[in-house]
Amino acid sequence: MKDRPILIAGGGIGGLAAAIGLAQKGFRSVVLEKSRRLGEIGAGIQLGPNAFHAFDYLGVGDAARKMAVYVDSLRLMDAMSAKEICRISLEKDFRNRFGNPYAVVHRGDLHGVFLKACEEHDLVELRTSHAVNGYEQGAATVTALLECADNVSGSALIGADGLWSSVRKQMIGDGAPRVSGHTTYRSVIPVEDMPEELRWNAATLWAGPKCHIVHYPLSDWKKFNLVVTYHNDAPEPVAGKPVSRDEVRRGFEHIAELPRSMIERGADWKLWVLCDRDPIENWVEGRIALLGDAAHPTLQYMAQGACMALEDAVALAHEMEAHGGVVETALPAYQNRRTLRTARVQIQSRLVGDHIYHPDDGHAALRNAMMSAKTVEQWYDAIEWLYGGTGLDNSVSA
């Protein structure tokens, strides 16, 4: 079985993490990426300790640690009063409790870590301009059907082809993703363009009625990542559309001057209308399995979509090794390790958006009262299931 490659549709963070995880266990893979070049467009990403557990398992821990910025705290601010609601320390006690740090990275840098590891590994082959349209499977093989007609066969096919996955379309056929109606605008600015009083070494969330702003430093403190979101009931999915600053301003006229001032500093704003899906219990069909956003797309409110894709890669590599490469049993075992944990992230991300990021009036007052009353220990207990978990434990208990 080890002679036939495992096919991976999609060379995003999830697909490349899966390829390198499999390679560490001696499995050959061919990554089929539809774009002309492998890469990630701008902007930052937050990584909980569970991402670092995965980096170590996948053999890229040192490289990943080198390009991360280690923030000191998670800060929750009230965007109406400009006052702090609560702050969770990410320093020594946090690291001791969860065994790894919390960090922020540039997406391109993170993708680059996996790309380099894949390029340098003999067991990974990367093919760009190879869009997977679907698949056919027989008793011993699966064939990825490619847009370029250069079909390729292997022992398994991993659909790591993102939110609009073609592999999922054929396997599950559950139509378009759910449009949340939340519009996110992203910008990365040089650190000197960030208002001086907001240059905090923190991942900061300003929560306001139907809107919020997130910012944190990036790339060795050379840049700041700005992500501002407006719940404007946007009806259609959009990804990466350039927009004017005027358009971004529109959703934030009602919030305090200090957080609003960041919008004036942003440049080259790009727009996403956020989508997710309801959790599903089965994402394996014979020799085919889904991974990352293709399997469990989530809103970004727990900053866990990529972290979950990394954990998937760990679980997949682990089960392929444990089952001696027998795909028919390894893939269901992989799925069993992942469905509950990823479902909790999908559902809880929606709840966090509704009850922490966007409340108004009495709902916001309740949030402030409840969140400011928690001790640091209580915070750590509440996130233990997530940051203390790994791709191998399917942990969902609080």
Ligand X SMILES: Cc1cc2nc3c(=O)[nH]c(=O)nc-3n(C[C@H](O)[C@H](O)[C@H](O)COP(=O)(O)OP(=O)(O)OC[C@H]3O[C@@H](n4cnc5c(N)ncnc54)[C@H](O)[C@@H]3O)c2cc1C
**Minimum Å distance from CB 232 to ligand X?**
15
Residues 190-229 that bind ligand X (CB under 6 A): 227
Q: How far apart are CA 136 and CA 294, in angstroms?
A: 18
Query: Residue 277 or 368: which CB sits closer to ligand X?
Result: 277
Q: Going edge to edge, which strands form the sheet with 223-231? A: 84-89, 73-78, 202-208, 211-218, 223-231, 178-190, 270-276, 238-242
> By CB under 6 A, which span of 76-84, 155-163, 258-266, 345-353 interacts with ligand X?
155-163
Given the rule CB under 6 A, which of 22-30, 189-197, 297-305, 317-325 is the region that contacts ligand X?
Answer: 297-305
166 is a contact residue toward ligand X (CB under 6 A): yes
Q: Indicate the residue among 46 and 368 with the shorter CB distance to ligand X.
A: 46
Which region, judged by CB under 6 A, interacts with ligand X, from 29-37, 59-67, 113-121, 385-393?
A: 29-37
Q: Closest distance between ligand X and the C-beta of residue 66, in Å?
A: 19
In the complex with ligand X, the residue whose CB is nearer, 90 or 325, is: 90
Candidates 109, 161, 276, 285; binder of ligand X (CB under 6 A) is 161
Closer by beta carbon to ligand X, 255 or else 306 = 306
CB of 298 to ligand X, least distance (A): 7
Report the nearest approach of ligand X to the CB of residue 142 (Å). 15
Q: How far apart are the first and last CA of the chain?
A: 40
Could you say whether residue 131 binds ligand X (CB under 6 A)?
A: yes
| Number of residues this chain uses to bind ligand X (CB under 6 A) | 33
Closest CA to 302 of 201, 386, 185, 393: 386
Pick from 9, 76, 77, 117: which binds ligand X (CB under 6 A)? 9
386 near ligand X, judged by CB under 6 A: no
Q: Does 184 bind ligand X (CB under 6 A)?
A: yes
**Which listed residue (303, 317, 327, 331) binds ligand X by CB under 6 A?**
303
Minimum CB separation from ligand X for residue 365, in Å?
28
13 contacts ligand X (rule: CB under 6 A): yes
Query: Is there binding between residue 292 and ligand X (CB under 6 A)?
Result: yes
Told to check if 35 binds ligand X by CB under 6 A, we report yes
| CB nearer to ligand X: pick between 12 and 359 | 12
Residue 32 CB, nearest approach to ligand X (Å): 5
Asked if 159 touches ligand X (CB under 6 A), the answer is: no
Which one among 46, 339, 342, 349 touches ligand X, defined by CB under 6 A? 46
**Shortest gap between Cβ of 297 and ligand X (angstroms)?**
7
SS3 per residue for the chain: CCCCCEEEECCCHHHHHHHHHHHHCCCCEEEECCCCCCCCCCCEEEECHHHHHHHHHCCCHHHHHHCCECCCEEEEEECCCCCEEEEEECCHHHHHHHCCCCEEEEHHHHHHHHHHHHHHCCCEEEECCCCEEEEEECCCCEEEEECCCCCEEECEEEECCCCCCHHHHHHCCCCCCEEEEEEEEEEEEEHHHCCHHHCCCEEEEEEECCEEEEEEEECCCCEEEEEEEEECCCCCCEEEEECCHHHHHHHHCCCCHHHHHHHHHCCCCEEEEEEECCCCCCCEECCEEECHHHCCCCCHHHCCHHHHHHHHHHHHHHHHHHCCCCHHHHHHHHHHHHHHHHHHHHHHHHHHHHHHHCCCHHHHHHHHHHHHHCCHHHHHHHHHHHHCCCCCCCCCCC
Residue 19 in the binding site for ligand X (CB under 6 A): no
Q: Parallel, antiparallel, or unpaired for β 156-159 and 152-154?
A: unpaired
Which residues contribute to the site for ligand X (CB under 6 A)?
9-15, 32-35, 45-46, 131-132, 160-163, 166, 184, 227, 272, 274, 292-293, 300, 303-307, 309
